[in-house]
Structure 1
């Protein structure tokens, strides 16, 4: 140990902790001497499933809190999150500001606000989905898994896709299945309330680095329900904020530009 705070890295939805390997390799190659720990959220990667009918964001906060208590009980950590993990990391840093020294959000835009009027339809959809077993598509081979990764991210080169495939999926009787609980595919019955998220983001005290890919298309998923100006207003509530944009990178910027990202991360953490 070098005295550098531990870096806790938390992945996005339908991803795994191993996704950070390329960034971690670049950090080490650039002389970073801190310890980096990447978790698998419950129901993803090598973690157990919850066994429930849905996954709740407060449970992710509980998992992260328990992990930090185990790994760094007496010192704050540097917390880095991508996508869903970035959203969770931001909320955690507002709820437990004393536990986070530096905060890095990689494309954790969060979600659009859901008004209370959306509750009946959302709950009805969830009840309907409960009537059918949750399933994920199997793949015939790891090569097919790698091809799927590259379909999701055309920038991902063959060697990285081949390395990620066995971390992203495992052999089952029906073929290769993603290391993810199929329940994640069900609609969440709990509405995402922007006012509650905003309150957590305003409570963040750690210096915060926001990093996005220059070619990100994430907000287009939501159409007009979540505009860029809505997100910018949310992010502007963070008091000690730095912003960076990585060239030639999309949403999976830790795959697209691991060396450039590592340089930004190591500089910020130092």
Structure 2
């Protein structure tokens, strides 16, 4: 059944820009004339298997609160949404950092920005803010928990699995119709309303020559990462974050679905305690997709925090 799609309060526009060896799609709201020292550019970064358009609901709620007064840019990470892959068969975390810096140099050369990230994007922005602390005025982490700690002895098996997966030609399921994509989105997240799912589906997928709807994510993202996650290296960056940090999470997020018992909550709390300046927000009736489940609540706290 087709549902009327969500109606944007503040429509955005897209453009492609060269970023290192790929074409990046940026979704923009407002222009450079809106930027002031008190209200700098706000950059939004999405999570794994998501797209920058997902932030439309938060952008709209901000516009309801303060008007269309803020310049906002949401990027599609390489290999997601409208951004190209660069021909890679594996995606490396450090490329996201290099891409982010290139985008910031293009959009806000020599200026500090407000930076937010969800999930994988939250992990990227936390690392970046520790590497370039003077580039960030305010930092928002929407459930970028990091990853379970790894040990050196895991490296051979991890690398062997990666080599095996390279031979398997990963793929993603395609769909008969855009309505089926919307249904898949709601199956993934029961809190996502029908109108928002109908709006997201054609941004999250595209119809190709075979007549089917394909998810806008490179299947290579499914491969195991051959590089170990070294917690002490990550925390060395987190300790250097100079910007105030807003940590936001959903009360109904179940991280055991991601990692089982490999990443206890106490481990995360110990990591977050090493970030110098952290404010926290817990959202009721909200899971991991905070920007879909409670965009008005996120926007209200963002407005206060960014001000």
Distance 1:113 1:51 in 2: 30
Report what 1:202 is aligned to: 239
Distance 1:30 1:24 in 2: 10
For 1:74, what is the secondary structure of its paired residue?
coil
Report what 1:91 is aligned to: 127
The CA deviation at 1:131 is 1.0
Question: Residue 143 in 1 paired to residue 194 in 2?
Answer: no
Report what 1:34 is aligned to: 70
Report what 1:77 is aligned to: 113
Q: Which moved more, 1:252-261 or 1:167-176?
A: 167-176
Question: Residue 68 in 1 paired to residue 104 in 2?
Answer: yes
Distance 2:224 2:200 in 1: 27
For structure 2, the residue ranges without an aligned partner over 5 or more in a row are 1-33
The CA deviation at 1:31 is 0.6
The CA deviation at 1:2 is 4.8
Contact 2:43 2:74 in 1 (8 A): yes
The CA deviation at 1:173 is 3.1
TM-score for the superposition, normalised by structure 1: 0.98
For 2:261, what is the secondary structure of its paired residue?
helix
Choose from 167, 170, 180 the match for 2:206. Answer: 170
4+ residue stretches of structure 1 with deviation over 6 A?
A: none
Distance 2:258 2:139 in 1: 26
Contact 1:216 1:249 in 2 (8 A): yes
Report what 1:265 is aligned to: 302
Distance 1:218 1:162 in 2: 27
Q: Which has the higher helix share?
A: 1
Distance 2:187 2:295 in 1: 19
Report what 1:240 is aligned to: 277
Report what 2:252 is aligned to: 215
Contact 1:219 1:228 in 2 (8 A): no
Q: Which moved more, 1:168-177 or 1:33-42?
A: 168-177
Per-residue CA deviations over 1:124-143 (Å, capped at 9, x if unaligned) read 11111111212111111111
Per-residue CA deviations over 1:218-237 (Å, capped at 9, x if unaligned) read 24421111010000111111
The CA deviation at 1:193 is 1.1
Contact 2:35 2:41 in 1 (8 A): no
Contact 2:50 2:80 in 1 (8 A): yes
For 1:124, what is the secondary structure of its paired residue?
helix
Distance 2:112 2:153 in 1: 40
Task: Report the RMSD for the aligned CA atoms in angstroms.
Answer: 1.0
For 1:78, what is the secondary structure of its paired residue?
strand
1:2-151 residue pairs with structure 2 within 5 A? 2-3=35-36, 4-31=39-66, 33-151=69-187
Distance 1:220 1:133 in 2: 25
Report what 2:21 is aligned to: none
Distance 2:78 2:88 in 1: 11
Distance 1:188 1:2 in 2: 38
The CA deviation at 1:108 is 0.5
Distance 1:222 1:18 in 2: 27
Alignment size in residue pairs = 270
